Amino acid sequence: MQPRRVVVTGLGALTPLGNSVAEFWHGLANGVSGADYIRQFDASKFKTRFACELKNFDPTNYLDKKEARKMDPFTQTAVIAADQAIQDANINKDKIDVDRAGVIWGTGVGGMINFSHELREFHTGDGTPRFSPFLITRLILDIAAGYISIRHGFRGPNFSVVSACASATNAIIEAMYSIRYGKTDLVVTGGSENVINEPCVGGFNAMKALSERNDDPKTASRPFDLDRDGFVMGEGAGALVLESLDHALARGAKIYAELAGGGATADAHHITAPHPEGLGAMNVMRQALADSGLQANDIDYINVHGTSTPLGDIAEVKAIQKVFGEHAYDLNISSTKSMTGHLLGAAGAIESIAAIMSIINGLVPPTINHFTDDPQLDPKLNFTFNTAQKREVRAALSNTFGFGGHNASVIFKKFVP
């Protein structure tokens, strides 16, 4: 069959910058930092004592209290963001074929918060095994997709994708293929991650991945800055409703953008460090371009992985220059992780939303917290430092790379009927 065009008809977001897409975009456009000292546990003895947490967020404002207690936070945020996206898309399940509506979700870690809580409770007791009957269903990584499916009665493909920090982007790509090749008409996709707790902060500290700029959390995430010292953890969820173009038009849906293509590769190099020449990143961007049918000079903006790590930022820029050549100097490049922190398995979802909103609004969000140029980076590249820039964005590419050498890229373009 002829591959079908895939469009975005609904968006939902819970982020450190706000608990809706509108609040999220307002924060990005105005260069707001979501970082602050950790409130979810006593981090005073940790090497890193700050993160980009959700703010003014109470799941019981969105979910029945009894229902919310059955879920780990990563499932709560997934369900709420998906609810937002489905409502935004104006989907009436009685007017669609629910057997052709699916949920494909991404997470990197899953129910770590409840798992660590249960273990702590067990070890501080008398040794008698006492565990919640909801421990397993709070823990398993597929459960967010399951809850969304059950809540909305979608009976099409339902599964989760796990590829560390590339998880949500890989989920979006799988959803795109499902629609493009006729398996589904509509898929709710994206990712969620809520793991700002002792084991995750301590674990990332132990591997020297996190910034330790405890005296100035707001400016700790510094992608491409000479003094960057690691990433800042973030939490939340992003959801997209994807549909085939014919399905969206038939029900009169509004269309935000077209999902033109995607790619997935591996570095096959190291469990945490990127390939020093950006080989996997280069290959995945080329794959995404080929899959989309676009040329390098059709891209106006790249929302980079840009985590603020010494090695990762340089490898990604090398890859961009190899793929885009002279056109690299005409691109806007920015890392929204400078504002949101790194949402791990959910990063690709909220960053895809950022790319879509840049197309809609003709505005590229900035890379904030830039103070000192890194001599290893080409000064002629436009990293959109510190202030958002107005420009027409015909097409935007979003990169996400994960521990294990996973690379995923997606390209969104302005919808043209």
CA triple 409-414-417, angle to 5 deg? 125
How much of the chain exceeds pLDDT 70, in percent? 100
The DSSP secondary structure of 368-404, one letter per residue, reads ----SB-TTS-TTSB--BSS-EE---SEEEEEEEETT
Q: What local confidence, expressed as pLDDT, does residue 130 receive?
A: 84
CB 243 within 8 A of CB 156: no
Q: Which two tokens stand for residue 23?
A: 């609040």
Tokens of 398: 């979003």
Instruction: Give yes or no for a contact between 5 and 258, defined as CB atoms under 8 angstroms apart.
Output: yes
Name the residue range of residue 400's domain.
1-417
Residue with tokens 């990584």: 141
Which residue in 152, 197, 253 sits closest to 42, CA to CA?
Answer: 197
State mean pLDDT over 370-374. Answer: 98
| pLDDT value, residue 165 | 98
CATH code assigned at 401: 3.40.47.10
- pLDDT value for 370: 98
Q: For residue 404, count other CB atoms closer than 10 A to its CB.
A: 16
pLDDT-derived band at 20 (thresholds 50, 70, 90) equals very high
Closest CA to 73 of 175, 197, 157: 197
| C-alpha–C-alpha distance, residues 93 and 80, integer Å | 17
Cα separation of 70 and 150, whole Å? 14
The percent of residues above 90 in pLDDT, for the chain, comes to 94
Which residue numbers are catalytic?
Answer: 165
- Check pLDDT > 80 for residue 117: yes
Closest CA to 402 of 106, 31, 30: 106
d(CA 34, CA 113): 21
Quick one: pLDDT at residue 405?
A: 95
**Is residue 402 a contact partner of residue 164, using CB atoms and an 8 Å limit?**
yes
Q: Reading across the β-sheet that carries 158-161, which strands appear in turn?
A: 158-161, 101-106, 186-193, 236-244, 6-14, 257-266, 406-413, 395-402, 301-303, 332-334
Rounded CA separation 232/307 (Å): 8
Interval 128-173: pLDDT, tens: 888 888 889 999 999 999 999 999 999 999 999 999 999 999 999 9
Say how many domains are in the chain: 1
Angstrom distance (rounded) from CA 8 to CA 6: 7
Give the pLDDT confidence score for residue 129 in this predicted structure.
84
Distance (Å, rounded) from C-alpha 244 to C-alpha 252? 12
CA atoms 208, 210, 211, 215: torsion sign: negative
The pTM of this model reads 0.97
Least confident of 117-121, 152-156, 168-172, 182-186: 117-121
Identity of residue 318: K
Strand partners, 105: 160, 190
Cα(106)–Cα(101) distance, rounded to whole angstroms? 17
Closest by CA to 416, choosing from 365, 359, 349, 332, is 359
Distance between CA atoms of 396 and 247, rounded to whole angstroms?
24
From the list 413, 411, 11, 407, the residue with the least C-alpha distance to 170 is: 407
